Structure 1
């Protein structure tokens, strides 16, 4: 059984190498749907960021073309970028975790977009790390925060996250996955709920960091 699977994988890789790069469209794909030049020229970030007293791993700075790619993936249903984005997340080193927690979005946002972009990223990373997806926290209606003070914004975000009724399975070491981190308020609020559920170690990773 192993040999046919390996042959299939080799065939898929060979076909991908014949496809054009999803970014420049002029060279053939090298890995994760892009050519070697485009892959190397992405705005890679070499260090984690500090947000809300928490170290958050990030793969990129939120610069072109990653900012545009994430926007298209998130708002314009350009889901073919999932291969590139998940491939980038795989480049990081991860601590031992038991489950991945994708950043939840409200029902209204889910209805508007049709999918949770963080869940799509989390599924790809979960397969890579061989751990399950865990979604014990839901997100209520997300309000516009324009005009609110910093304290009001923090309180509003904290109130958006709610633990589901008595989750049957609980994990102690988890990894939050999100697309872009700015202030880190959402990650911090989600972390607080996970700590209430008994999590002892909560890590976080994002595709990009925006200042």
Structure 2
């Protein structure tokens, strides 16, 4: 890394140490733009949860204050939380993979929000792990599953994903990145598509796992 860039990063970190915590605003920033107390009091989990017969690595529980932060990040364009949420994912230990696959969203959702929150997280993690981003699957129109049975929800989710236009790019071991996991249906559907492309190991990580 060029010396000038290193000095700029050090200077930025020094000035941030005098700025207030993004969460409590009472103490100064310790890491990832929050103070030490707020960082330690996040609803940490750092273990796998089983969804759809798949082990998904969850950094935290979907509980206060992380649930509020993720909601604002996802639906209210509060992108200043990106360093915090990315930092949370960087604390985990990952299996050896060759590429990172962000959970895709539909074009409709992308137009509504202006960004794919999972892609933002995946980009930061790819830089941290020095791995490429791979997006071989597209998501069709997403719609409410309210009123559907469990079987209908699973079947509906499966139909929302499709393989992107053919490419010679292939990876055997990949890591899916998502923000929140509830039933795990979306990750399971994405995993099925990736296996159709020849992936032999499909791992998954999420910021938070909701109770079911």
Pairwise TM-score range, normalised by the shorter structure: over 0.9
- The residue that corresponds to 1:63 in the other structure is 63
- The residue that corresponds to 2:169 in the other structure is 169
The answer as to whether partners of 2:100 and 2:134 remain within 8 angstroms in 1 is yes
- The residue that corresponds to 1:34 in the other structure is 34
Q: How do residues 14-29 of structure 1 correspond to structure 2 at under 5 angstroms?
A: 14-29=14-29
- The residue that corresponds to 1:74 in the other structure is 74
- Give yes or no for the alignment of 1:153 onto 2:153: yes
Structure 1 range deviating more: 81-90 or 140-149: 140-149
Instruction: Give the CA deviation at 1:66.
Output: 0.2
Instruction: Give the CA deviation at 1:117.
Output: 0.3
Instruction: Give the CA deviation at 1:168.
Output: 2.5
- The residue that corresponds to 2:89 in the other structure is 89
Structure 1: runs of 5+ lacking an equivalent = none
Question: How far apart, in 2, do the equivalents of 1:117 and 1:164 lie?
Answer: 20
- Give yes or no for the alignment of 1:115 onto 2:125: no
TM-score scaled by structure 1? Answer: 0.98
Q: How many equivalent pairs are there?
A: 211
Q: How do residues 115-154 of structure 1 correspond to structure 2 at under 5 angstroms?
A: 115-154=115-154
Root-mean-square deviation over aligned CA pairs:
1.0
- The residue that corresponds to 1:207 in the other structure is 207
Q: How do residues 172-211 of structure 1 correspond to structure 2 at under 5 angstroms?
A: 172-211=172-211
Question: How far apart, in 2, do the equivalents of 1:204 and 1:190 lie?
Answer: 10
Question: How far apart, in 2, do the equivalents of 1:5 and 1:149 lie?
Answer: 54
Structure 2: runs of 5+ lacking an equivalent = none
Question: How far apart, in 2, do the equivalents of 1:141 and 1:2 lie?
Answer: 44
Question: How far apart, in 2, do the equivalents of 1:132 and 1:164 lie?
Answer: 17
Question: How far apart, in 2, do the equivalents of 1:46 and 1:168 lie?
Answer: 35
Point out 4+ residue stretches in structure 1 off by more than 2 angstroms.
1-6
